[in-house]
């Protein structure tokens, strides 16, 4: 740092970056190694598909947070970079959760077969329980459902 | 005419004092460094969204075929995946230390640390090569190339489509990262960087840590299911 100040010309003299202590890097590295061991070890136990997924993702997120805060300097840097990074995660979570809401619940629509007035005809046609029943729902369901759908 | 001469005077005047690495459209080295870093972060955000698409594919397939995912992931080698995780975390540590050495004005240490980082990346790719050749040998391939009959469950080729797409794109990032790190190594050896100017090394570091960060999620999602 003394050398830095001595040779620095006038207008770059204000540039003093934060230098992370060596101890911090070693500790973070050791924690990351340890957590890798933990996640492999925990995976041997069967906590149910969702349980294992939650544990694995929690450990991965702790590791990712350590990498982002210390190795990528987000803890010490201008918080603008943190906002940029978190905004990406926000939009990624919107993207994935919207997709999952669709693909996970798509089949549930067929439960509304019992309420023909609330739903369009195309759905009852896709999965008819029996030809007569389908024809019945078609007749009763099509007209009231069609009118609100296409005003 | 007079305005032109004025600007040349200012230009020549500035050349007397400023760091040769300071571009003329920035006022200070710090401003230049911060602007570059914001640009790199924006690039990293696009990288997150690029991988995000594949994470979404993974989520949908796993949700549709949960039992097949558990059966198919048993064909991956956890030991190799775990070693690769440790290798990549190790390379992240040496990368962070390489930047620190430049901040401390020790480019000689940076050269060594960058060499270790590149070697770790190479080890990662070698292990990946062994994993891939084993999969190819067993016919555990994406889509229509899938020819294995031992995997239980419905549509096991979907798991291997996700596996090869995610690890393949990640491996491509490792290769590109090795290229950029080699460039940084060459520049450091030629004395281009010091505590005065090390922005490119820090940007290379950010990219390298993101590649590590993505692997931190890929490893449990592919190798450690249920």
Residue ranges of B 84-113 with Cβ closer than 8 A to chain A: 85-86, 89-90, 92-93, 95-97, 100, 103-105
Q: Residue A117 class from Cβ within 10 Å (0-12 exposed, 13-18 middle, 19+ buried)?
A: exposed
Query: For the residues A24-42, what does the mean pLDDT come to?
Result: 95
What's residue B2's pLDDT?
42
Residue A38 has pLDDT above 70, yes or no: yes
What's residue A131's pLDDT?
54
Contact (CB, 8 A) for B220 and A56: yes
What's residue A150's pLDDT?
42
Contact (CB, 8 A) for B11 and B23: no
Please check whether residue A70 touches B, CB under 8 A.
Answer: yes
pLDDT band at A121 (very low <50, low <70, confident <90, very high): low
What's residue A104's pLDDT?
86
What's residue A1's pLDDT?
40
Q: Tell me the percentage of chain A whose pLDDT exceeds 90.
A: 47
pLDDT band at A75 (very low <50, low <70, confident <90, very high): very high
Residue A6 has pLDDT above 50, yes or no: no
Q: Would you give the end-to-end CA distance of chain A in angstroms?
A: 74
User: Can you tell me which residue has the tokens 């029943």?
Assistant: A133
> Would you call B15 helix, strand, or coil by DSSP?
helix
Question: Of B47 and A148, which is predicted with more confidence?
Answer: B47
Taking all residues of chain A, what is their mean pLDDT, rounded to a whole number? 76
User: A74-88, A125-139, B94-108, B115-129: which has the minimum mean pLDDT?
Assistant: A125-139
What's residue A91's pLDDT?
95
Please check whether residue A38 touches B, CB under 8 A.
Answer: no
What's residue A109's pLDDT?
67
**What is the phi/psi pair of residue B181, to 5°?**
-65, -35
What's residue A114's pLDDT?
57
Q: What is the pTM of this model?
A: 0.81
Residue ranges of A 113-142 with Cβ closer than 8 A to chain B: none
- Which of B14, B220, B222 to probe the A interface (max A CBs under 10 A)? B220
Å between B85 CA and nearest CA of chain A: 7
B28, B52, B63 member nearest A100 (Cβ): B63
Question: Which residues in chain B are closer than 8 Å to A27, comparing Cβ atoms?
Answer: none
Å between A131 CA and nearest CA of chain B: 29
Please check whether residue A76 touches B, CB under 8 A.
Answer: no
Residue A113 has pLDDT above 70, yes or no: no
Q: How many angstroms separate the CA atoms of A38 and B220, rounded?
A: 11
Complex confidence, ipTM: 0.88
- Which of A26, A37, A60, A70 to probe the B interface (max B CBs under 10 A)? A60
Q: pLDDT (tens digit, 0 to 9) for every residue of chain B, 226 residues total? A: 444 444 444 555 555 567 888 888 888 888 899 999 999 999 999 999 999 999 999 999 999 998 899 999 999 999 999 999 999 999 999 999 999 999 999 999 999 999 999 999 999 999 999 999 999 999 898 888 888 888 888 889 999 999 999 999 999 999 999 999 999 999 999 999 999 999 999 999 999 999 999 999 999 999 998 6
Question: Of B59 and A13, which is predicted with more confidence?
Answer: B59
Q: For residue B51, what is the nearest residue in chain A, using CA coordinates?
A: A92
Q: How many angstroms separate the CA atoms of B49 and A87, rounded?
A: 11
Instruction: Check residue B143 and give left, alpha or beta (phi > 0: left; psi -120 to 50: alpha).
Output: left
Residue ranges of B 13-72 with Cβ closer than 8 A to chain A: 17-19, 22, 27-30, 33-34, 37-38, 41-42, 44-45, 48-49, 52, 55-56, 59-60, 63-64, 66, 70
Q: How many angstroms separate the CA atoms of A87 and B214, rounded?
A: 17
A10, A32, A60 member nearest B220 (Cβ): A60
């Amino acid at each position: 740092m003394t050398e830095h100040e001595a040779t620095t010309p006038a207008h770059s003299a204000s540039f003093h970056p934060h230098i992370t202590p060596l101890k911090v890097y070693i500790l973070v590295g050791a924690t990351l190694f340890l957590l890798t061991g933990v996640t492999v070890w925990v995976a041997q136990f069967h906590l149910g598909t969702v349980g294992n997924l939650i544990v694995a993702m929690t450990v991965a997120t702790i590791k990712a947070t350590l990498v982002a805060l210390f190795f990528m300097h987000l803890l010490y840097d201008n918080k603008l970079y943190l906002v940029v990074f978190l905004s990406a995660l926000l939009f990624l979570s919107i993207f994935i959760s919207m997709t999952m809401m669709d693909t996970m619940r798509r089949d549930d629509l067929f439960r509304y077969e019992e309420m023909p007035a609330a739903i369009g005809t195309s759905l009852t046609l896709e999965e008819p329980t029996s030809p007569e029943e389908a024809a019945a729902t078609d007749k009763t369901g099509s007209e009231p459902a069609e009118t609100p759908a296409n005003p | 005419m007079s305005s032109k001469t004025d600007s040349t005077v200012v230009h020549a005047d500035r050349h007397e004092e400023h760091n040769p690495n300071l571009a003329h459209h920035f006022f200070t080295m710090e401003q230049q460094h911060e602007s570059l870093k914001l640009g790199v972060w924006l690039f990293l955000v696009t990288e997150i969204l690029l991988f995000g698409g594949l994470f979404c594919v993974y989520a949908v397939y796993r949700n549709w075929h949960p039992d097949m995912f558990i059966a198919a992931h048993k064909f991956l080698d956890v030991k190799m995946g775990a070693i690769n995780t440790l290798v990549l975390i190790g390379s992240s540590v040496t990368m962070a230390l390489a930047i620190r050495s430049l901040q401390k004005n020790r480019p000689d240490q940076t050269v060594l640390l960058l060499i270790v980082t590149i070697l770790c990346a190479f080890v990662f790719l070698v292990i990946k090569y062994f994993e891939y050749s084993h999969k190819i040998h067993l016919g555990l391939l994406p889509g229509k190339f899938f020819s294995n009959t031992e995997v239980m469950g419905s549509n096991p080729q979907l798991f291997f489509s996700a596996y090869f797409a995610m690890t393949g794109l990640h491996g491509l990032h490792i290769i590109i990262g090795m290229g950029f790190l080699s460039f940084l190594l060459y520049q450091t050896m030629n004395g281009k960087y010091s505590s005065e100017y090390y922005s490119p090394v820090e940007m290379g570091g950010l990219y390298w840590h993101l590649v590590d960060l993505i692997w931190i999620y890929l490893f449990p999602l592919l190798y450690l299911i249920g």
